[in-house]
Amino acid sequence: MKTLDRLLGGGIAEGVITDIFGPGGSGKTQLAMQICINTIHEKIIYQDTSGSFRPERMIQLMNAKKLEPKLLDNMTVARITNASEQVENLKKISQVRPSLVVIENISDLFSFEYSKESNALEKHVKFMQYMRSLSLLCIRDKIPAVVTNIVRGSGEQERENLEKSISIFTHKKIRLSKQGNKFSAQVLPSFGAKKEIAYKIEPEGIIEIA
């Protein structure tokens, strides 16, 4: 989406963590995949913590751009199943030094493993340590990172999961919203007038509505 790129200051930048968050079905994975397609000629690491990644969907999006399916070989997809594994996989990013890192549902496993009220402090500490390591890695090796995150609550009470802990380390945010069949995106922080971008989700990807 051209307007989204402009609001981001030219797209996904090196050394920056861009956080895409919103409710289920709002297009977080679709947008992350489209960002991958822009870098598909180079090395990409895609870490999936919830089983959301579908190679057939990537191929469908690539076909829409008339890209060769064999370019999918440039993506290393890791299925992450626990928080310790997620932390450990930071080493792989450092070793490969890809042109893009995508981490799907970045807070999900931490929330699941430290779900008890008595573990709330430990959850935030562990997650912040992880985010700090990811942030330093991206800055040091000039790697652009895109992470997706869920929201909790409903309607106007929706808040990004582990919002305070993740916001310290994410440099730009894209909030996706869904109301019925209507979708909108907003870049945060929004300097000046609030700007929302309406979009739809089609077989060829997320398409901005003028």
Confirm whether 124 is domain-assigned: yes
Confirm whether 189 is domain-assigned: no
Confirm whether 7 is domain-assigned: no
What predicted TM-score, i.e. pTM, was given to this entire model?
A: 0.92
**In whole angstroms, how large is the CA radius of gyration of the chain?**
16
pLDDT at site 80: 97
Confirm whether 142 is domain-assigned: yes
Residues 6+ apart with CB under 8 A from 160: 19, 21, 149, 150, 151, 152, 166, 167
Q: On the CB side of 61, how many CA atoms lie within 13 Å of its CA?
A: 24
Confirm whether 121 is domain-assigned: yes
Q: How much of the chain, in percent, has pLDDT values that exceed 90? A: 79
Give the residues across from 102 on adjacent strands: 46, 146
> Over the stretch 174-208, which tens digit does the pLDDT of each residue have?
999 998 889 999 988 755 555 788 999 999 999 88
How far apart are the C-alpha atoms of 184 and 198, rounded to whole Å? 4
How many domains does the chain fold into? 1
Confirm whether 105 is domain-assigned: yes
What is the CATH number for 148?
Answer: 3.40.50.300
Confirm whether 118 is domain-assigned: yes
Domain containing residue 35:
13-178
> Over the stretch 72-90, which tens digit does the pLDDT of each residue have?
999 999 999 999 999 999 9
pLDDT at site 191: 52
**189: preceding bond cis by omega (within 30 degrees):** yes
